[in-house]
Amino acid sequence: MADAVARSESDLPIQQVYVAADLAGFDPDAALGAPGAYPFTRGVYPTMYTGKPWTMRQYAGFGTAKESNERYLQLVKAGTGGLSVAFDLPTQMGYDSDEAISSGEVGKVGVAVDSIDDMRVLFNGLPLDKISTSMTINAPGSTLLLLYQLVAAEQGISGDKLTGTIQNDVLKEYIARGTYIYPPAQSLRLISDIFAYCHKELPRWNTISISGYHMAEAGATPAQEIAFTLANAKEYVRAAIAAGLDVDDFAPRLSFFFVARTTLLEEVAKFRAARRIWARIMREEFGAKNPKSMMLRFHTQTAGVQLTAQQPEVNLVRVALQGLGAVLGGTQSLHTNSYDEAIALPTEKAARLALRTQQVIAYETDVCKTVDPFAGSYVIESMTDDLEAAIVELIQAVEDRGGAVRAIEQGFQKSEIERSAYRVALEIDNGERTVVGVNKYTIDVEEEYDPLRVDPAIESEQRERLAALRAERDNDAVKAALAAMQEAARGTDNVLYPMREALRLRATGGEVAHALREVWGVYVPQEFF
């Protein structure tokens, strides 16, 4: 009986040996191009990390703005080059901390930010013109971006000095996460307004981070992760063009967000294939002329779904391998997970070790001494081609269903991801897939671990802060500003300008979201059987 053929995470065959014949007709110069040149297979910049390493971000946020601010100051002191803000669930869903629906969730999975008062505390003492800030926020992305801009302005920093990213990727929320607010059409309208606003007011800001990470966490294969992300990206580009924007005015500020798994070879190939496909889409389908419009620039986070609560210190090894894969694949910024995240919020020590992992890769290995180290590798180039074909086929399957929004409404992406997740779960359960410490190489007694916990008293503290805010502010002025925002939402004017004024007057994030709910409604998902 012949040996079974090994399969990749995307269920593509992996040969035991790759030889030159597997790349018959392969002309490296023609197929790959130079680093920093179309189709960007070898990286979006000519020198990549030989000039300077990627931006080292650490995703952090918990409890109150004051507690998170203390963690940010520690991370900056430890050498992080960029902050990545985690918001709590009420903030992500457009609710204030004092609403009944928020009870029990305030400050739990991220920091609670209800108003400009919280944003001031969150970034107190941090030089916003010198650090890059990524905010993992989607449906209320416009609100948090404007609060950040307002706080920077109070520090005397103009919008053209601010750098960073808002995730702002609502379509993947309908597929994989669920923190949506408005229906898809209205969400796309808001995103187009953000593109236009930032082009004028915040020219260095990345207006969207189109995310495959959360789809991967839900069970998407590498091919599905890239395909469904790029299909969503096409929908955003179409919406912006339909709103009257020129593709080369907004496309250079698009960015992406992917996962890095422990399957290092396929991950490297995945990133290279993604760049090549996106460059072709932007040039051939959307007629982009500016090379920056064709660059797929992306942030990477190591795979939280692959961390284990069993023997958590083994996660240090997993994260190091995942981070190395992201770097070899050419990421622009990287967050390395803390080894204790499968148990609780990361401790200060664990967060520092996660950052040190990146610093070891950057400064103690030789991967930053050359551009695209795996170029020309039989296995990498062959896997890149195989993944490219699989990704293109899946993108076409989405297009055949009318594009990303129509496919979402039909449940296509969600069902495909769930099928892949089920396959992996079965493989782990029956031992075909090894997870060290879980179904193999286990220990009888786990060491005790003292996790970081959020003080439940912060919910009452936030309620008190909100009560004081509403007592102190000019409520008539806030009401008038929110009404002006609603009027813009009913018409075609950019919603962000009246929204900014309302937030400056100390309107809360929940009040802004509720005002837009009154005009646009809310999304109610369909059930698929």
Whether the Cβ atoms of residue 338 and residue 351 lie closer than 8 Å to each other: yes
Within a domain: residue 256? yes
As given in the structure block, the two tokens for residue 28 are 């490296």
Residue 257 has pLDDT above 90, yes or no: yes
For residue 39, say if its preceding peptide bond is cis, omega within 30 degrees of 0.
yes
Within a domain: residue 447? no
510 and 373 fall within a common domain: no
Within 40-88, residue ranges assigned H as helices are: 65-78
Task: Look at residues 29, 42, 22 and name the one whose alpha carbon lies nearest to residue 378.
Answer: 22
Last residue of a domain, one of 429, 446, 467: 429
157 three-state secondary structure? coil
User: What value does the mean pLDDT of the chain take?
Assistant: 93
How many Cβ atoms are within 10 Å of 15's Cβ, its own excluded?
Answer: 13
Whole-number pLDDT of residue 529: 40
Within a domain: residue 77? yes
Residue 231 has pLDDT above 80, yes or no: yes
308 and 407 fall within a common domain: yes
Within a domain: residue 308? yes
Residue 29 has pLDDT above 70, yes or no: no
Residue 410 has pLDDT above 90, yes or no: yes
- CA atoms of 162 and 148, how far apart (whole Å): 9
Task: Look at residues 341, 313, 326 and name the one whose alpha carbon lies nearest to residue 261.
Answer: 326
pTM for the full predicted model: 0.90
Share of the chain above pLDDT 70, in %: 97
Whole-number pLDDT of residue 78: 85
Whether the Cβ atoms of residue 131 and residue 76 lie closer than 8 Å to each other: yes
Note down the domain range covering 144. Answer: 6-429
66 and 108 fall within a common domain: yes
Last residue of a domain, one of 410, 429, 448: 429
Whole-number pLDDT of residue 31: 66
C-alpha distances (whole Å) from 177 to each of 106, 181, 199, 211 are: 18, 12, 28, 11
295 and 422 fall within a common domain: yes
How many Cβ atoms are within 10 Å of 446's Cβ, its own excluded?
Answer: 12
Longest dimension (CA), the chain: 80
279 and 422 fall within a common domain: yes
Whole-number pLDDT of residue 103: 94
Share of the chain above pLDDT 90, in %: 83
Non-local CB neighbours of 139 within 8 Å, separated by 6+ positions? 92, 93, 94, 170, 173, 179, 180, 181, 182, 187, 513
User: What dihedral angle (degrees, nearest 10) is formed by the CA atoms of 438, 13, 42, 273?
Assistant: -90
- Least confident span in 7-11, 79-83, 406-410, 496-500: 79-83
Whether the Cβ atoms of residue 464 and residue 162 lie closer than 8 Å to each other: no
Within a domain: residue 70? yes
Residue 227 has pLDDT above 70, yes or no: yes
Last residue of a domain, one of 380, 410, 429: 429
Residue 123: HSE in the Cβ half-sphere, 13 Å Cα cutoff: 28
387 and 509 fall within a common domain: no
- CA atoms of 142 and 147, how far apart (whole Å): 9
449 or 415: which carries more pLDDT confidence? 415
Provide mean pLDDT across the span 267-291.
98
Whether the Cβ atoms of residue 119 and residue 113 lie closer than 8 Å to each other: yes
Residue 25 has pLDDT above 80, yes or no: no
Please state the domain count of the chain: 2
Q: Tens digits of per-residue pLDDT, 86-106?
A: 899 999 999 999 999 999 999
279 and 363 fall within a common domain: yes
Residue 311: which CATH number?
A: 3.20.20.240
Whole-number pLDDT of residue 1: 39
404 and 467 fall within a common domain: no
393 and 479 fall within a common domain: no
Within a domain: residue 446? no
Provide mean pLDDT across the span 349-369.
95
Residue 368 has pLDDT above 70, yes or no: yes
Residue 284 has pLDDT above 90, yes or no: yes
Within a domain: residue 445? no
Provide mean pLDDT across the span 304-320.
96
| Phi and psi based region of residue 142 (left: phi greater than 0; alpha: psi -120 to 50; beta: remaining) | alpha
328 and 473 fall within a common domain: no
- CA atoms of 37 and 342, how far apart (whole Å): 40
Within a domain: residue 1? no
Residue 261: HSE in the Cβ half-sphere, 13 Å Cα cutoff: 25
406 and 507 fall within a common domain: no
209 and 356 fall within a common domain: yes
Residue 382 has pLDDT above 80, yes or no: yes
